[in-house]
């Protein structure tokens, strides 16, 4: 497996998903920064799903069969991406209902082995463990491989919606490096599996 690098293979699709509803959204800022940090490290096609834009399609129905073509297209983007960068504001000590609804529509088999980078923002530092107590178990259910370092942003980490401060910036860099390492490992496994049939 050693020596097989992502750049020998196809470009990766890196998809950010932001559950933020404000303008500007702190959550979207963090998701965008993470997607950008990953794309600096590996050839990637990047995209972003914002819940504010996706909600009318996703809430057209409460089940996969009822959401229509535009909702189905959104869910398929999620299912097909190589890396998901998921971010949610903390609402009532958890991810938002809209964020969870999106993942309730994803096929329970579709994220198995997929690399997922976790992010959240909150109105105080006290709900930072939402990453470990809500987001990581959700993606554990899917059998996804979550990146060890998650990003939690509280109001001190932003000025006018922009991320500020060395600590959170260093954490974003570390999370992106870990994500790329996991992606390399996944692709090496896939390449080996393809070679041995």
Ligand X SMILES: Cc1cc2nc3c(=O)[nH]c(=O)nc-3n(C[C@H](O)[C@H](O)[C@H](O)COP(=O)(O)O)c2cc1C
Query: Per CB under 6 A, does 25 bind ligand X?
Result: yes
Query: Per CB under 6 A, does 124 bind ligand X?
Result: yes
Q: Within 10-157, where are the H helices?
A: 26-41, 51-58, 68-80, 97-105, 130, 136-141
Phi and psi, residue 129, nearest 5°: -75, 0
Nearer to ligand X, 71 or 89 (CB): 89
Determine the longest span between alpha carbons in the chain, in angstroms: 52
Nearer to ligand X, 121 or 184 (CB): 121
Taking residues 128 to 167 in sequence order and writing x for each that binds ligand X by CB under 6 A, - otherwise, the string is ----------------------------------------
- Position among 117, 122, 136, 171 found at the interface with ligand X (CB under 6 A): 122
We find the least distance from the C-beta atom of residue 160 to ligand X, in angstroms, to be 12
Query: Per CB under 6 A, does 109 bind ligand X?
Result: no
């Amino acid at each position: 497996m050693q020596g097989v690098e992502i750049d020998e293979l196809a470009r990766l699709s890196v998809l950010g998903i932001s559950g933020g509803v404000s303008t500007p959204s702190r959550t979207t800022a963090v998701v965008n920064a993470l997607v950008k940090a990953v794309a600096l490290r590996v050839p990637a096609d990047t995209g972003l799903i914002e819940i504010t834009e996706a909600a009318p399609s996703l809430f057209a129905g409460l089940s996969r069969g009822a959401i229509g073509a535009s909702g189905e297209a959104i869910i398929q983007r999620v299912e097909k991406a190589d890396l998901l960068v998921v971010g949610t504001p903390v609402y009532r000590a958890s991810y938002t209902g809209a964020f969870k609804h999106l993942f309730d529509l994803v096929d329970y088999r579709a994220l198995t082995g997929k690399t997922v980078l976790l992010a959240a923002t909150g109105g105080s530092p006290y709900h930072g463990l939402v990453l470990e107590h809500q987001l990581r178990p959700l993606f554990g259910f899917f059998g996804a491989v979550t990146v060890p370092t998650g990003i939690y942003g509280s109001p001190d980490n932003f000025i006018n919606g922009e991320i500020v401060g060395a600590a959170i910036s260093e954490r974003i860099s570390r999370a992106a490096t870990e994500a790329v390492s996991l992606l390399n490992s996944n692709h090496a496994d896939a390449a080996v599996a393809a070679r041995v049939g």
